[in-house]
Chain A
Amino acid sequence: MNRQSILSIFVFAVLFSVVFTSCKKEEHQYHSIIDKIEAESKNYQGTNISSEQFISEIEMIEISEDGHTFLIPERKSQIKSYDCNECHSKPINELKGKGHGQKAHWDLTLVHADEKTMNCATCHDESNMNLLKSLTGAKIDFNNSYNSCSQCHSKQFNDWKGGAHGKRIKSWAPPRASLTCVNCHNPHKPSFDSRWPVRFNTQTEEERK
């Protein structure tokens, strides 16, 4: 190998290293955002930001379902006439008719599935009105009413546990606090009516005329 070729190899080596080191930009070191998320979350240590200051005024209970642990609002204290057994001391049939005082929810109608599928006793435990019950008769606490809903709505339940269905309460930060089914859906009429949008942009309308 003569001097000239050694020199040219040296020159190429220097050029090569200059070109390839100078082009490595810090910002574009990942091929895609998913790569970036995977790489940067490997050493995730948690942050100083917490949701606690935003949810401190709401009474919450912690639930754990299939490896997802999070907070949901406590329910029983929000039910207007809980405890139910204060009125429901006798079977419903005996309570019907005159002479039994104030009727709390006489106008309640069930608009949930059809009559063949559901009636009051599908969810409410007739033997103890303070509780709900599952299809097989297992007791369900009002605070955990999502266990009642999840029997049929398993797909929604799955999404809710993960966080794809429903709403977080105020904060994106941990600890996770989410609304439970009955915070949005009326269990006796779970669907929503159509309504008018809250906004109409008159300027846009004007511009597009």
Chain B
Amino acid sequence: MRILLVEDDALLGDGLQAGLAQQGFAVDWTRDGVAAQLAIESADYSAIVLDLGLPRLSGLAILQRLRAAGNAVPVLILTARDAVEDRVKGLDAGADDYMVKPFDLHELSARLRALIRRSRGKAEPRLRIAGIELDPAARQVSFKGKPLELSAREFALLHQLMLNAGRVLSREQLSERLYAWGDEIESNAIDVHIHHLRRKLAPQLIQTVRGVGYLMPRQEHE
């Protein structure tokens, strides 16, 4: 789950990047509005955490451009401005949620998960496909009722496949959603993780579309 963090305060940005990574997010951190704009244009984010008082380009301006361009990515505003009119302005400009500093890291993560879940049209926080049950908040997976031990990357990969069940995801799309800038990626990393997942689950649950990518078939009856 790759998210963009736009925060100009060094200490807070550093903490958020580390904290959200602990919660299983891949975090890209930019410290000004223009860099954020570039990041949004170059990558596909599951959600954006946006500060309002930013150098070069304000958070509200970024938000307005984003929505004007038809980008529906969930945006959570994180700001020191707590006046009701500020919240109204932020939400009306296209934000999906609004949190006032200081906030709780776990609440922020939970809200991000909820935003991402809703952006995919799902109300149930747990994902269930073909006997696999994935709980994004608890970061637990079980298969046919038995808990499964997965690494952080394997979990993130399975999460992506389940969220996009029925759709083919390319290796590039997957690695973009799993890895933040600066993460070291082996060229065949995705293939290796897929291989491990198939071994831990059942081989037929993740299908390969040769030359395109991977797919987890949607099971309509579930």
A binds B: no
